[in-house]
Amino acid sequence: MTEADIQPPIEDYALIGDCHGAALVSGKGSIDWCTPLRFDGEPVFFRLLDAGQGGSWSVEPEQTTRVTRGYIERTNILRTCFETATGTLELVDFMPVGRTRTASVHDYVTLNAPGWIVRRLRCVSGRVDLTMQFRPRGPGWSTDPVEMNLCEGRIDCAGGLTLWCDGEARREADGASVRVVLEEGETQTCVLTSVAPLFDPRDRADQLYDVTCAFWTEWCEYSRYRGQYQDAVLRSALALKLLTYAPTGAVVAAPTTSLPEHIGGGRNWDYRFCWIRDATFALFALSVLGYSAEGKRFSDFLSRLCLREGSTLRIMYGIDGEPFLREHPLEHLAGYRDSRPVRVGNEASDQRQLDVFGELLDWAELRVALGSRLSDDETALLRGVADHVCKTWHVPDHGIWEMRCEPRHFTQGKAMAWVTLDRAIRLFGENPTWRENRDQILREILGKGCTGDPPYLVQSYGAEVTDAALLQVPLLGLPLDLPLLERSVREVERELRTGDFVHRYRSADGLEGDEGAFFMTSFWLVEALLTVDRADEARALFERILSRANDVGLYSEEVDVNTGAYLGNFPQAFTHMALISSASLLQIHEEKGVEALRGTNADRAKRLAGATEGAKGLAFALIRNRSIRLRSSRKSVLALT
């Protein structure tokens, strides 16, 4: 068996989760990554990062001839179908999640999730003989097999892990195997628990499935997107929801660590934390679709957990609000396809990145435009951020891409500093200091952030190169001439575009090795093309990038421009929020034209939400009907006692 057989391509995986932890399931039904209780926890299985010793939980039907899979419609429940020489097996994978008994009608953020993984096996036709290979790993990223005790109907592991299953279990050197034979119509449910429950969880398998299915389908009902890309938009929304950490409201950038930006390279980072930028962008996308509760929880996360007395806003936090995320390598792990090192923690948490403040204020303005109210604490926080930017915008930083070299004056960062002060004025009223600094930033951008004759925007002051982050500038509401923006977009295409893909930059960044192109920057190009009225090109590019999703509609962070293979952590929140944003802007352009794209995200969100008064009335009617239906059924409430 080759290493490629053991570690499938990144695009071969699907995500299941419960808004607390997550697991990745390969196209052949193997769980190769699992942090069941919290995203940043030590994994139970991590063959994804060490082919030989990382541990996994596989389902292996004999004589398999064909495997197909997909999510059950409007859910994060995965169904995999194995066709074998003797019969057909259906495998349904999910992590149970539901609302608490005390949750209000529209509350889909106060959740109950036991941290279990449920795998339901059903023989659809004929007879299926299969073997489950169960190879968990213990604390501390240990590659040693855990101690096990094989009991009737379950396998107890050291540390409290239990696999509840029937079949012929046998202890092996690397774990345990379970032999199962199913005839047509027969089923078996297997449940992995991290803390021993007071009952056999298999007895509630039907309830767990029904509640989880109801939770996801009910949540989907609240989406107000009615454009032509509903399937892709809803799948991206479901992925973003999976990446929210319900106990605090944090949003992780991805549920994995150290999936490489180049196979065999060292650009491998831990993304299981909450970047303010990534989170606000993800919540932009959900807010535009009609989801406000997630944004409110994130606001509480910032106010209660991150900004402790005497602290200043950092670019990222742990999912419980931890400000210090020490980065260290796990030297004993081989890495995904020998891509080393495997890292835990992220040193970028200590960086200065000017753009993050603008994204936070821009998101706040969008929420207010869509009907939310800022709390007194949040208002104080945002006003303080604006004051802080007035004092620090002239200082160089590490930029949106977290370069690990000397700080620079990044043009996109200065544009976001302008956004910080502009949105503060729009939210809180006139302030001479904010206005004076905002106007000075604009003069600097025009004087130092451009080059060429005629001029176009460049990556940083004095540079001759461009940057894909500049594709965002046309949507920020800066009073820049359209010809300058058009030239800047074309320069990004000339320098950074390869076919449908766009590299972030080609300048030195303090790191060795190569990287792929970001899916996100391709979606940014779609949006920039719309703003300069190249709509036909934008839509064609968008649809081609849609076709690059994997078979279950998910994207990684990056792509190899030569092979199309996925690179980087998976699935990536930034990519999915960019898809939703691009789909929304395409809808606005189609309905209202290019002028409707001018202004801020808040302006565009209001235009999208108020496309027609009839549509608005329909939305209120739908919400009222949903409320009545949910009150009567409450199918999505999960009670485990």
229 and 287, same domain (yes or no) = yes
Residue 580: CATH number of its domain: 1.50.10.10
What mean pLDDT do residues 512-535 have?
96
**Which of 201, 218, 235 corresponds to the end of one domain?**
218
238 and 267, same domain (yes or no) = yes
- Looking at the domain assignment, is residue 107 inside a domain? yes
201 and 254, same domain (yes or no) = no
- Looking at the domain assignment, is residue 79 inside a domain? yes
242 and 168, same domain (yes or no) = no
Residue 71: CATH number of its domain: 2.70.98
For residue 305, the model assigns a pLDDT of 79
Number of domains making up the chain = 2
- Looking at the domain assignment, is residue 230 inside a domain? yes
Q: What is the full DSSP assignment across 225-289?
A: --STTHHHHHHHHHHHHHTEETTTTEE-S-S-B---SSTTSS---B--SEEHHHHHHHHHHHHHH
* From 116-120, 357-361, 543-547, 550-554, the region with the lowest mean pLDDT: 357-361
Q: Using an 8 Å Cβ cutoff, are 189 and 154 in contact?
A: no
What mean pLDDT do residues 352-374 have?
92
Closest to 290 measured CA to CA, from 585, 622, 629, 636: 622
Q: Can you name the residues that pair with 98 across neighbouring β-strands?
A: 112
Band (161; pLDDT cuts 50, 70, 90)? very high
238 and 133, same domain (yes or no) = no
Counting every residue, how long is the chain?
641
Cis peptide before 455 (omega within 30 of 0): no
- Looking at the domain assignment, is residue 476 inside a domain? yes
Computed on alpha carbons and rounded to an integer, the radius of gyration of the chain in Å comes to 25
Residue 352, Ramachandran bin (φ over 0: left; ψ between -120 and 50: alpha; else beta): beta
168 and 287, same domain (yes or no) = no
State the CB neighbour count (10 A cutoff) for residue 641.
5
Domain holding 352, by residue range, is 222-623
The two structure tokens encoding residue 53 = 């010793």
- Looking at the domain assignment, is residue 328 inside a domain? yes
For residue 3, the model assigns a pLDDT of 47
User: What is the C-alpha separation between 75 and 635, in angstroms, rounded?
Assistant: 14
Distance of CA 143 to the CA centre of its chain: 28
State the CB neighbour count (10 A cutoff) for residue 299.
23
The two structure tokens encoding residue 187 = 């089923």
For residue 629, the model assigns a pLDDT of 46
Element (H, E) at 619: helix 613-633
User: What is the C-alpha separation between 38 and 452, in angstroms, rounded?
Assistant: 50
Whether residue 31 has pLDDT greater than 70? yes
**Which of 218, 242, 263 corresponds to the end of one domain?**
218
429 and 523, same domain (yes or no) = yes
For residue 303, the model assigns a pLDDT of 84
- Looking at the domain assignment, is residue 380 inside a domain? yes
- Looking at the domain assignment, is residue 640 inside a domain? no
171 and 268, same domain (yes or no) = no
What mean pLDDT do residues 273-281 have?
92
Q: What is the pLDDT of residues 243-259, one digit of tens each?
A: 999 999 999 999 999 99
Percent of the chain's residues with pLDDT above 90: 83
For residue 622, the model assigns a pLDDT of 43
Which residue shows structure tokens 């060429």? 452
User: What is the C-alpha separation between 516 and 14, in angstroms, rounded?
Assistant: 21
342 and 382, same domain (yes or no) = yes
- What percent of the chain is helix, strand and coil (3-state, nearest 5)? 40, 20, 40
Whether residue 539 has pLDDT greater than 90? yes
Q: What is the pLDDT of residues 562-585, one digit of tens each?
A: 999 999 999 999 999 999 999 999
For residue 627, the model assigns a pLDDT of 46
172 and 261, same domain (yes or no) = no
Q: How far apart are the first and last CA of the chain?
A: 45
Average pLDDT, the chain: 93
User: What is the C-alpha separation between 385 and 396, in angstroms, rounded?
Assistant: 17
Q: Is the dihedral of CA 599, 603, 609, 610 positive or negative?
A: negative
**Which of 198, 218, 238 corresponds to the end of one domain?**
218
Closest to 108 measured CA to CA, from 98, 118, 117: 98
What mean pLDDT do residues 212-217 have?
97
Q: For the range 621-626, what are the long-range contacts, defined as Cβ-Cβ under 8 Å and sequence gap of 24 or more?
A: 622/221, 623/222, 626/218, 626/221, 626/222
Whether residue 610 has pLDDT greater than 80? no
Q: Can you name the residues that pair with 316 across neighbouring β-strands?
A: 275
What mean pLDDT do residues 478-501 have?
98
Band (309; pLDDT cuts 50, 70, 90)? low
What mean pLDDT do residues 615-633 have?
43
- Looking at the domain assignment, is residue 483 inside a domain? yes
Whether residue 68 has pLDDT greater than 90? yes
Band (311; pLDDT cuts 50, 70, 90)? low
260 and 402, same domain (yes or no) = yes
Band (196; pLDDT cuts 50, 70, 90)? confident
Distance of CA 185 to the CA centre of its chain: 37
What mean pLDDT do residues 236-241 have?
98
In order of 22, 234, 251, 255, the CA distances from 241 in angstroms are 12, 10, 9, 12
Burial class of 65 by CB neighbour count within 10 A (0 to 12, 13 to 18, 19+): exposed
294 and 206, same domain (yes or no) = no
